Amino acid sequence: MAGDAPRPQVSEYGSVDPAPPEVLGEVATWSGTVSDENQPMFQRMRAVFALRNQSSDEACLALCRGFSSGSALLRHEIAYVLGQMQNPAALPTLIQRLEDEHEHVMVRHEAAEAMGAIGDRSVIPVLERFSNDPLPEVAESCVVALDLLAWVQRAEFADAER
Ligand SMILES: [Fe+2]
């Protein structure tokens, strides 16, 4: 029966992941899969989402090491999940990705948006510096991230006033 076919699940982050996260395994194994250039992209992405769901500092730092991957698509996906995880431990790596002018524009865009999503205001000077980047995708992402940080601060302020 068609209704019994497995369907992609909505993650705890509210997104349907392009590859379903591995459920069984451990950080070291998933980290190895992410970095293994011989694995199919589908499997490497499954490991990325498994690490995201694991959500520890260890998993976050393992994802940061995944930026050594040769695939810009995978690096972009890693930046995206680091934004979902909202762990400030990823910030030094995300700043490096944004600052690297040899990095793919899609990865730099996602790194900037992840920096906004994490919510730590220490990144504001870096985002401001790149908000005039010659690449519009980079510049616009930095402006969006700055606006998000400002919006969150206003919301927190309004909350405290209540
Ligand atoms: Fe994106």
Q: Does domain 13-161 have CATH number 2.40.50.140?
A: no
pLDDT of residue 14: 87
Cα of 44 from ligand 1 centre, angstroms: 18
d(Cα 103, Cα 100) in Å, to the nearest integer?
5
Query: How confident is the model at residue 38, as a pLDDT?
Result: 97
Backbone angles phi, psi at 15, to 5 degrees: -105, 150
Determine the pLDDT at residue 6. 79
pTM to 2 decimal places: 0.93
Distance 158 CA to ligand 1 centre (A): 30
What is the whole-number distance in angstroms between the Cα of residue 107 and the centre of ligand 1?
Answer: 8
Q: Residue 76: which residues within 8 A CB-CB, separation 6 or more?
A: 104, 106, 107, 110
* Per-residue pLDDT, 3: 59
Task: Tell me how far the alpha carbon of residue 58 lies from the centroid of ligand 1, in angstroms.
Answer: 24
Q: Note the pLDDT of residue 84.
A: 97
Question: What is the full per-residue pLDDT of the chain (162 aa) written as tens digits?
Answer: 455 777 888 898 888 999 999 888 899 999 999 999 999 999 999 999 999 999 999 999 999 999 999 999 999 999 999 999 999 999 999 999 999 999 999 999 999 999 999 999 999 999 999 999 999 999 999 999 999 999 999 998 898 888
Going from N- to C-terminal start, the domains of the chain cover 13-161
